[in-house]
Amino acid sequence: MGDKEFERPQGTEIVYERPKSLTDVVTHYCPGCTHGIAHRLVAEVLDELDARERAVLVAPVGCSVLAYNYFNLDTQQAAHGRAPAVATGIKRVLPDRVVFTYQGDGDLAAIGTAEIVHAAVRGERITVIFINNAIFGMTGGQMAPTTLLGQETTTSPKPTGRLAERAGYPIRVCEMLSQLDGAAYVARGSLSSPQNIAKAKRHIRKAFQAQLEGHGLGIVELLSSCNVGWKMSPVDALKWIDSHMVPVFPLGVFKDWSAAGVEAARLADSGVAAG
């Protein structure tokens, strides 16, 4: 943000700066966490779409509960899981604004399952950024609905980790929502590498376009790391996304209102992820 004036040496040009849609503060996120990347991607897309001044963020409950401090946007803080319902209320009152939710896997895929499913059923013109890091980070590392089989968390402990017989299976949100007629754009990206981050940004942009052009709900699931919750180094955590999460949560575009090329895009993404 432009609060602090930066004296630029003559003859130089700024090629990289903080997006206007982000505030100039230090976040509370743990070192190694990918929330910062996700925030930046969303902010860059909003800047590029010139949408900052008509954007309304709905913040969740979870690690990104304080997102209203980091996004330089009008924000409503929602109850746990209810962000899509809150976003529905906002969008119906202000149909020309850009309304989006930013939710984690506990918020969206556990307590808020009904809200996200029915927002998609209604084809709400909202955008959903879904952070899947396979764990409840904020509360200290409990099992999430997206926790992998065998993954150890504080509520799916050693020696078995998550056991299907006791705790069921990880939920694939994109595959589920792509079945709904009201979902216009459904894609899963990953924040594990620069290539995947670039691709994730394209998904995010498209999910906002689905809203701006009035096609329906757009959702991007971002496979994200929680190195602290996973008890790994940040680098190992990024590797773990590729080695463990991607096989369960394949990357790609599951639904695209501009249907042509969906299959091609999915295959291309899967190919890159597998390679």
Partner 1 sequence: MKGNEALAEAAVRAGCRFFFGYPITPQNEIPEYMSRRLPEVGGTFIQAESELAAINMVYGAAGAGARAMTSSSSPGVSLKQEGISYMAAAELPGVVVNMVRGGPGLGGIQPAQSDYYQATRGGGHGDYRTIVFGPATVQEGVDVMSKAFELADKYRTPVVILGDGMMGQMMEPVSLPEPLELAKVPLKPWATTGAKGRRPNVINSLFLDAEECEKHNLALQAKYDAIQATEQMAEIAFPGSDWFVVAYGTTARICREAIQEARAQGLSVGMVRPITLWPFPVNAFEKVVERAKGFLTVEMSLGQMVDDVRLAVNGRCPVRFFGRTGGMVPSDEEVLAEIEKMVEGRTR
Task: Please tell me the count of residues contacting partner 1 according to CB under 8 A.
Answer: 37
Select the residue interacting with partner 1 from 25, 48, 93, 157 (CB under 8 A). Answer: 93
Q: Does 109 bind partner 1 (CB under 8 A)?
A: no
Select the residue interacting with partner 1 from 114, 164, 198, 235 (CB under 8 A). Answer: 114
Residues 173-212 that bind partner 1 (CB under 8 A): none
Report which of 198, 205, 209, 221 is spatially closest to residue 257, judged by C-alpha positions. Answer: 209
Q: How far is CA 111 from CA 75, 115, 257, 262, in A?
A: 21, 9, 28, 30
Q: Does 239 bind partner 1 (CB under 8 A)?
A: no
* Burial of 210: CB neighbours in 10 Å, binned 0-12, 13-18, 19+: buried
Half-sphere exposure of 44 (CA within 13 A, CB side): 18
Return the range that interacts with partner 1 (CB under 8 A); candidates 74-82, 192-200, 204-212, 238-246: 74-82
Residue with tokens 């409840």: 136
Report which of 118, 132, 107 is spatially closest to residue 221, judged by C-alpha positions. Answer: 132
Return the range that interacts with partner 1 (CB under 8 A); candidates 94-102, 127-135, 140-148, 226-234: 94-102
Q: Are 81 and 115 in contact (CB under 8 A)?
A: yes
Select the residue interacting with partner 1 from 38, 46, 63, 85 (CB under 8 A). Answer: 85
The nearer residue to partner 1, 77 or 139, going by C-beta atoms, is 77
3-class secondary-structure state, position 37 = helix
Return the range that interacts with partner 1 (CB under 8 A); candidates 41-49, 93-101, 170-178, 188-196: 93-101
User: In the beta sheet, which residues pair with residue 185?
Assistant: 218, 256
Rounded-to-integer distance, Cα 192 and Cα 235, Å: 9
Least separation in angstroms between residue 74's CB and partner 1 is 4
Q: Does 92 bind partner 1 (CB under 8 A)?
A: yes
Rounded-to-integer distance, Cα 58 and Cα 52, Å: 14
Q: Does 214 bind partner 1 (CB under 8 A)?
A: no
Which stretches of the chain bind partner 1, using CB under 8 A?
52-56, 58, 65-66, 68, 71-79, 82, 85-94, 97-98, 114-115, 117-118, 121-122
